[in-house]
Structure 1
Amino acid sequence: MSSFDRYIRFFADLAMDDVPLVGGKNASLGEMYRELVPKGVRIPNGFALTAEAYRDVIRAADAEPRLHALLDGLDKSDVAELARRAAAAREIVYAAPWPPGLREAVLDAHARLVDEYGKDLTVAVRSSATAEDLPTASFAGQHDTYLNVGGGEMLIDACRRCMASLFTDRAISYRIDKGFDHFKVALSVGVMKMVRADLAASGVMFTLDTETGFRDVVFITGAYGLGENVVQGTVDPDEFYVFKPTCRAGYRAVLRRRLGEKQVKMIYARGRTREATRNVPTPRAERERFCIGDDEVLTLADYAITIEDHYSAGAGQPRPMDIEWAKDGLDGRLYIVQARPETVASQRRGDVLYRYTVKDHGPLLVSGRAVGRGAASGRARIIRSP
C-alpha cells in the first residue's frame, strides 16, 4: 500500500462505517458528500488524514511510554497538574517527527484540492477523533480547529497542532468523564475547502428545539462572519424556527425569528496558523438586520430535514442532528460544513419534567439569554490574566 493510500482519504471515498479510520466528524462529512450532494445539499470537498497517520506518528517517535507516564493516574480535579501534564503531552505529539511518506501524501492531496478550486484556495483544518460525534458523546469543542489555512507549510503545521490537540485539558477531562481510554482513541485530521463566510454569515442549526427537546422544529442560529463565534457561544446570534411537518408538506414558512446582538464577527487575518482569523466589531447597520433572509432560512431547513432523514434511516430510529452551516460571500450559496448527532436535548426523557425555582435574589450583576432551564450557585472568580 502506498503512503497516500495509507494516510489519505477524500470525502468521496468515505462513509459512516469509516469512523475507526477517520473519526466521527470526517466519516460524517464523507457520508454526506457521497449521499447528500446528489440530493442537493451543498458540501465543500476535502480529504482526511487517517487515524493510521496519527498512530504512525506516535510509533515513529516512541511517544506512548512518555504519554503513559504523564496521563496514567492523573487526578483531573487538580486543575494545575492537569494543565501541566496536558501541555507536556501536546508538545510530545506536536514535536514528533512524521513517518516517511506522510508529509508528501498531505501535500499531494492538498495539490489536488488546489487543482479543483484554484491557487487562492484556503482550507479549514479540523480534528476528528475516533471516539467523536457518537450518539451519546459528541466530543464537540474538545479538539482544535484552524481556519483560513493557506499553502502547504501552513497546512502541515495545522495538522501537527490538530494531532496534538487530542491532549487538550478539556479533551483529557472529557475522556475521563465518559470512560474512554486515552490510548484507544486516535485522531484523524479533516481538510476542507474554506467557505468564505467571513464575507457573509454562518451558524449552527438543530433538528429539534434545544431548550424543550420538541422534535418538530428546525432551530437555526446565525451571525456574520466565520462560524466559530456561534459554535463557541461568544456572540448572541439571530434565531429562526421552521416547523418540520408543514415544511415537509410543501408549506414552507419561518415560524419565529429573533434578532441577535451579533456584537463581533470573525474575519480573515494575515498571520501564522493560530493567527489566521480575528474578531472585529460588527457594524451597527449589520447588527440591526438579520444575517440571512427567509428564503435562506428555508433552504437551510430543507438541508437539515434531508440530513436528519438520512441519518435516522441509517440508525433505524429518529436521530436529531446538530449541523454547522456557512454562507459563501463570493458565490452567495449556503453550505453544510459539519453534522453530528445532537447529544443533549435528545437524551432527555419525555415523561420527566424538571423545574427549578430560585428562592433568594440578590442585586442583578449581569444578564443574558439562557441556554437551558437549570439553576446553579457557587463562587464567581475574576480572572485578570490569560
Structure 2
Amino acid sequence: MGSKRKSEDSISRGTPDNTEKRVKTSTGLENAGAISSESSFQEQIRCHLTELEKLIGQMMNSPDSIRDHITEARHDIVKAAAKLEKAFAKTKDTSSSGGNDSNESKHSEQNFDISGTPGLPQLPPIKDKSLEKAVFTHPGVVGDCNTISSDLSYDRLEILGDAYVELIATRLVWDRFPNLPSGRMSQIRELLVKNETLAEYATSYGFDRRASVPRDHLNQPKRWNKTKGDIFEAYVAAIILSDRTNGYDVAERWLSQLWIPKLSGLDHVRPPNFQCKEALAKKIMGKGVKLKYIDERPPIQLKGGMQTFFVGVYLTGWGWDNQHLGSGQGLSKTSAGDQAASQALLNKPLIDEIAAVKRAYDAKTKTERATLNQS
C-alpha cells in the first residue's frame, strides 16, 4: 500500500527524469534507429503509436492527483513524439536509399492513405516520385533559391497548379450555372479557389503532416495556411505533369468531386427572369414619374466573398413623393431590385390606387388630344 502511494506521488510530481525514463521504456523509441528493413520500421512505428496512446489514456484516467499534473508530463510526451517523428524520417530515408521506386510508393501509401478520406473523394497519386517529393518540400528548407534548383521544392509547381485550379473551377461554375453574370461567376469561383478552402482540403488529406517546412511556419497561422494552400496547388500540378495523357482529366474529375458539395447549396444563385421591374414600370410609370431603386442598408459580406444586397423601390409622381413600394434582397443589386419590385406588385391596394390615378390621367390626356385634333 505504501509502495503504491509512493509510486503515485512520484508520477503526480511529474519529475522530468522519471517521466522521461518511463516514456522511453514503454515506447522503446530509442531502438527505432536500429531497425534496418522498411517493414520492420513500420511495424515498430505502429507499436510506438499504440503504446503512446495507452500512456496518454492511462494519464487521463488517473486519479485527480495525477491528472492535475498532466501539463508537466506533457513535456515528456512531446519528447516521445519527436523521437517518433525521427523514426518516420528514417523509414522514408531507408526507402529512398534502396533505389526501389515500388518500395517508396508502398511506403507512401501505407503512411498516407490515398484510398479516400471519409467525405472526400479518393486522392489521385502522383506518378513521378521526384515531383511528389518536391510537392511537400518548402523552398525555405532547400537553401537559397538562387543557387539551388527550384525543382527540389514546390516553388514552381505552385504557380502552375494555381492556374490549373482556377481554370478547372471556372469551367465547373460555367457548366453548373448557365447564363450567370461574370461578376457572380467570379464570386463563386473565389469560394472554391481561395486559400482557406485549399488549405482545408490539404489538412483533410494529411498534406500538412507530410510537408517539410521551416519550423517558424507552424507558429504563424496565416503563413501556415498559405503554405498548405500552395502545397495543394502544387499537388494538382504534379498530378497533371506526371501523367501527360490523362493527368488533367484525373485532376479535373477529382477537384470537381471536391467542390460539388460547396456548390450544391448555391443553386439559388441562378439568375431570375428579372420581369418584375418591367411589370411594375408598365403598371404605374408615366410622364414625369420616377421609380428609384435605392440601397436601404449596407450589404452583408458572406463566406466565399459573396454579398447580400438590400434594395427598396420608391415612387415619386401621381401625387406621391418618395413613396416606399417594396423591399427586396439578393446576391446582386439587380436581383435585390427585382425582388423589391415583386414585393411592390404584391402590395395590391397601393399599386391599384396608383394605377387608377395613372389611368385617369391617361384618359384625360387622350380626351384633350382628341378635342384638340377636332378643332
TM-score tier (shorter): under 0.3
Return the TM-score normalized by structure 2. 0.23
Q: Which has the higher contact order (CA 8 A, sep 6+)?
A: 1
Q: Higher strand fraction: Structure 1 or Structure 2? A: 1
The structure having more radius of gyration, on CA atoms, is: 2
Q: Higher helix fraction: Structure 1 or Structure 2? A: 2
